[in-house]
Amino acid sequence: MAISALDSAIFADMFGTTAMRDAFGDDAFLARCVEVEAALARAQGKLGTIPAEAAAAITDAANSLASGREALDLARLKSETETVGYPILPLVRQMAELASDAGRYLHWGATTQDIMDTAAVLQIRAGLALIEEDLTAARGHLAELARKYRDTPMAGRTHLQHALPVTFGYKAAVWLYALDRHADRLRQLRPRVLLVQFGGAAGTLASLGGAERSLDIRAELARELALADPPITWHVVRDGITETVQVLALLVGSLGKIAYDVMLMSATEFGEAAEPFIQGRGSSSTMPQKRNPISCELILAASKVLRQQAGLALDAVVTDFERATGPWHVEWVAVPEAFGFAAGALHQARFMLGGLIVDPGRMAKNLAMTHGLIVAEAVMMGLAPHTGRNEAHDLVYDACRIAIETERPLLDVLLETPAVADPLGPDKLRALTDPANYLGAAPAMVDQMLARRN
């Protein structure tokens, strides 16, 4: 029975995705290990390290497992793994049996971590492709929201209070900027993480003879798997794997920020946005009127889980000597779970942003609820050339206090304040107290963000 939300019969498709489970599940891991063993045999067969016919037989054995003509004895594999502590020796034994006499050449010069690390890298490559697909879609949804609502004014809030007017398109473009940078990070980390691992017992490839011969094998193995060939063994240099988890944590952290904003905007008192409507989604068991922001809640939860996995992965960086005595094992937990929860968060974000319900009318109503106080800065800056900034600040501050205490529009109070009304006049004051006239460069910055995508 599953004890993880990612594998739960109930929660799996809320917190994760089928595609990512397929990339990081047990079957996928074993398949990638088999793939690496076969690729190593072919590389060594090409270079004459093992007989070419042995390499072909080992490849046939691997293909028979991949096609389903043969199957691993998983019960035996589990039992032997518990004894050995690692799954590669038990796997090699079963592959060797399928390859008959050629099996003696399987795993030639390799060590367990070579196979497991390279298999993990292949899984990461598949996982990154899935992440990038959903990230691209989510970014596309945000770009469309930014474009559509470029000039839709709403209250900008700092410390949860009205600050200055912004537009919803500007807000969406700010969200997009973070996700664009994460897309850059995902591209940039690939050369640092998509590396073959092949170093033998202590990383020196000593069992394969001279340097030229052993390094040629590693390079050929890299070509077989379409991975980069590193200049040195990275058994105890885990920054590439850890960077991947950190980038996923950053990405989902940014999704969490978006989700947090949307959750607040969907609160009854705001009512400015809502998740896509699906019959029954977000229902309460006791309050029929409720429509809870389910996707946002799941995204926010995932962001907190990824924070923990990021810290766990950092622990794996601190290793001892030429082979770690434990830190490596935490990657077996952190990496699959990081990809699993990141995929789930992106899936929820893609759904939520793709059908986000935006209410410009409610945004306008909220913007007007302080009767012009949100643009007090605009009046101050308009008055400053006539009185000086400090005097303008004090005059407008007093007017705001009176407007709040008497529950009157700021404009009315300003029109009754000679020190303000006389130099500016009523028409100028009406323009200055219209929030739609105080959006600054927000629409232009939306344009800059969208132009970067062309």
Q: Rounded mean pLDDT of 157-180?
A: 95
Whether pLDDT at 347 is above 60: yes
Whether pLDDT at 283 is above 50: no
Element (H, E) at 212: helix 211-225
CA max distance for the chain: 102
Neighbours of 180 (CB within 10 A): 18
Whether pLDDT at 33 is above 60: yes
Q: Rounded mean pLDDT of 248-277?
A: 94
Whole-number average pLDDT of the chain = 92
With bands split at pLDDT 50, 70 and 90, how would you rate the model's confidence at 168?
very high
Whether pLDDT at 363 is above 70: yes
Tell me the C-alpha distance between 371 and 367, whole Å.
8
Q: Rounded mean pLDDT of 179-200?
A: 96
Residue 342: CA count within 13 A, CB half-sphere: 36
Q: Is 386 a catalytic residue?
A: no
- Least confident among 125-139, 285-299, 353-367, 419-433: 285-299
pLDDT given for residue 187 in this prediction:
96
- Structural domains in the chain plus CATH codes: 1-110+199-233 (1.10.275.10), 128-152+167-195+236-358 (1.20.200.10), 365-451 (1.10.40.30)
- From the list 159, 254, 347, 371, the catalytic residue is 159
Angle between helix 26-46 and 112-148 (nearest 10)? 120
Q: What is this structure's pTM?
A: 0.91
Q: What does residue 347 show for φ and ψ, rounded to 5 degrees?
A: -60, -45
Q: Is 284 a catalytic residue?
A: yes
Tell me the C-alpha distance between 334 and 65, whole Å.
28
pLDDT in tens, 191-209: 999 999 999 999 999 988 8
Helices (H), strands (E): how many in the chain? 18, 4
pLDDT in tens, 101-132: 999 999 999 999 999 999 999 999 999 999 99
pLDDT given for residue 295 in this prediction:
94
Whether pLDDT at 285 is above 80: no
pLDDT in tens, 56-85: 999 999 999 999 999 999 999 999 999 999
pLDDT in tens, 397-418: 999 999 989 989 999 999 998 9
Q: Rounded mean pLDDT of 168-193?
A: 97
With bands split at pLDDT 50, 70 and 90, how would you rate the model's confidence at 289?
low
Tell me the C-alpha distance between 197 and 189, whole Å.
17
- Least confident among 141-150, 231-240, 350-359, 378-387: 378-387
CB of 140 closer than 8 Å to CB of 126: no
Q: Rounded mean pLDDT of 387-395?
A: 91
Tell me the C-alpha distance between 144 and 140, whole Å.
6
Q: What is the gyration radius of the CA atoms in the chain, in angstroms?
A: 30
- From the list 207, 284, 329, 386, the catalytic residue is 284
pLDDT in tens, 370-390: 888 888 889 999 989 999 999
Residue 437, SS3 per DSSP? helix
User: What DSSP state is assigned to residue 207?
Assistant: G
Whether pLDDT at 4 is above 90: no
pLDDT given for residue 322 in this prediction:
87
CB of 95 closer than 8 Å to CB of 106: yes
With bands split at pLDDT 50, 70 and 90, how would you rate the model's confidence at 286?
low
